[in-house]
């Protein structure tokens, strides 16, 4: 199923993200995690692609397993900045062979040694979207950043980037995580002002251990509201309490978003079915995919 079709009838959709194993020895444990998440009957499960712009050998295998054996729609992430056209075309052929219809087309983070973007086959996600669109018949999604991408000086530059993604065939967006819903609402107003009306799926990260937070802030510069910091200060030293508080915080964010008309939620529960399941149970009367 194409993800865009999930949003046609105004239903609330919840989806989850997993990451592929680094080596074949980790394949089975990722498979087991996705099997548990699939039991929650999500709208789709997305599978990340490498890290820091790198490639991944197992993204398509996991995405294919989700679709073929677990009967859940999958969304394969694909980054381009370290790839050339030939690699991308091969990936697209493999996705087609595995009947994967949805691709989250990304540039990927720039490796520190990479200075000259212009000499590369792919400089930006929109270049990749153009090639996917030309290849044909994929439902293309893109990333967006309600607080602005770290490399963008002004949010208005990001809005222009999103416009170029839509021009290249992007049909939906998934946001970077945020911990204050007002940030998303302001961003949605800006998109609407710019005439961008594709579905925006809100990315929600349940923070279940205090160490995650330092990394999140370093990587994405995400704003942490005082209310969130108070929770971490109080419970961060107690792993079980922090997990419970993090899930409650994420649940409250999700309920607020649904109540305000945001129909798509993507939970960064990673390969942790217990977190996905706790969120799912908290929303059992709210979301019925
Ligand atoms: P782009 O849209 O290309 O934007 C990158 C920067 O370039 C922005 O500042 C943008 O404003 C600017 N820009 C874009 N077009 C132009 C232009 N024509 N001229 C000038 N400036 C321009 N990373 C991974 O490695 N693997 C993953 O699986 C992965 N999944 C992700 C999922 C989500 C939902 C999100 C939000 C991020 C994910 N990332 C992943 C991280 C992502 O790859 C990085 O944030 C990366 O730095 C930007 O990718 P992008 O696709 O948003 O890039």
Ligand 1 atom index nearest CA of 49: 28
Ligand 1 centroid to Cα of residue 142, in Å, is 8
Ligand 1 centroid to Cα of residue 81, in Å, is 10
- Specify if 98 maps to a domain: yes
- Specify if 138 maps to a domain: yes
Nearest CA to ligand 1 atom 32: 143
Residue 89's CB is within 10 A of a number of other CB atoms, namely 13
Q: For residue 36, what is the domain's CATH number?
A: 3.20.20.220
Question: What domain count does the chain have?
Answer: 1
- 196-247 pLDDT, tens per residue? 999 999 999 999 998 888 788 887 789 999 999 999 999 999 999 999 999 9
- Specify if 288 maps to a domain: no
Indicate if the pLDDT at residue 289 is higher than 90. no
Ligand 1 centroid to Cα of residue 150, in Å, is 9
End-to-end CA distance of the chain: 14
- Specify if 231 maps to a domain: yes
Task: Show Cβ contacts of residue 33 under 8 Å, excluding neighbours closer than 6 positions.
Answer: 18, 271, 272, 273
Name the residues annotated as catalytic: 17
* C-beta contacts of 121-124 below 8 A and 24+ residues apart: 121/80, 121/83, 121/84, 121/85, 121/88, 122/80, 122/81, 122/83, 122/88, 123/81, 124/161, 124/164
**What's the rounded Cα separation, in Å, for the pair 251 and 253?**
5
Ligand 1 atom index nearest CA of 174: 34
SS3 142: strand
- 51-98 pLDDT, tens per residue? 655 568 899 999 999 999 999 999 999 999 989 999 999 999 999 999
User: Domain residues for 35?
Assistant: 3-282
- Specify if 287 maps to a domain: no
The pair of structure tokens assigned to 106 is 């990304």
- Rounded to an integer, what is the distance from CA 149 to the centroid of its chain? 14
Tell me which residues have their CB closer than 6 angstroms to ligand 1.
48-53, 77, 79, 104, 106-109, 124-126, 143, 149, 151-152, 157-158, 161, 164, 174, 176, 203
**What's the rounded Cα separation, in Å, for the pair 39 and 32?**
11
Percent of the chain topping pLDDT 70? 98
> What is the average pLDDT score of the chain?
94
- 93-136 pLDDT, tens per residue? 999 999 999 999 999 988 777 777 777 899 999 999 999 999 99
């Amino acid at each position: 199923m194409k993800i865009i079709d999930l949003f046609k009838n105004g239903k609330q959709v919840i989806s989850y993200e997993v990451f592929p194993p680094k080596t074949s020895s980790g394949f089975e444990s990722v498979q087991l995690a996705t099997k548990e998440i699939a039991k929650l009957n999500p709208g789709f499960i997305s599978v990340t692609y490498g890290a820091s712009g790198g490639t991944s050998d197992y993204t398509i295998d996991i995405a294919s397993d989700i679709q073929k054996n677990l009967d859940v729609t999958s969304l394969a992430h694909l980054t381009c900045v370290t790839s050339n056209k030939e690699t991308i075309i091969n990936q697209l052929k493999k996705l087609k062979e595995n009947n994967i219809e949805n691709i989250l087309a990304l540039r990927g983070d720039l490796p520190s040694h990479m200075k000259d973007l212009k000499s590369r086959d792919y400089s930006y996600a929109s270049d990749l979207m153009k090639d996917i669109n030309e290849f044909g018949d994929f439902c293309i999604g893109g990333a967006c950043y309600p607080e602005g991408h770290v490399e963008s000086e002004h949010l208005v530059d990001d809005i222009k980037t999103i416009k170029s993604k839509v021009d290249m065939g992007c049909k939906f967006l998934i946001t970077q995580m945020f911990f204050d819903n007002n940030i998303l609402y302001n961003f949605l107003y800006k998109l609407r002002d710019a005439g961008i009306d594709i579905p925006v799926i809100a990315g929600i990260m349940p923070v279940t251990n205090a160490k995650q937070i330092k990394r999140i802030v370093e990587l994405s510069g995400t704003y942490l509201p005082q209310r969130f910091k108070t929770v971490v200060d109080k419970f961060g030293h107690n792993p079980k309490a922090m997990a419970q508080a993090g899930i409650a915080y994420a649940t409250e964010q999700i309920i607020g978003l649904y109540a305000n008309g945001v129909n798509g939620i993507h939970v960064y529960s990673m390969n942790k079915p217990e977190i996905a399941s706790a969120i799912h149970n908290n929303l059992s009367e709210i979301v019925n995919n």
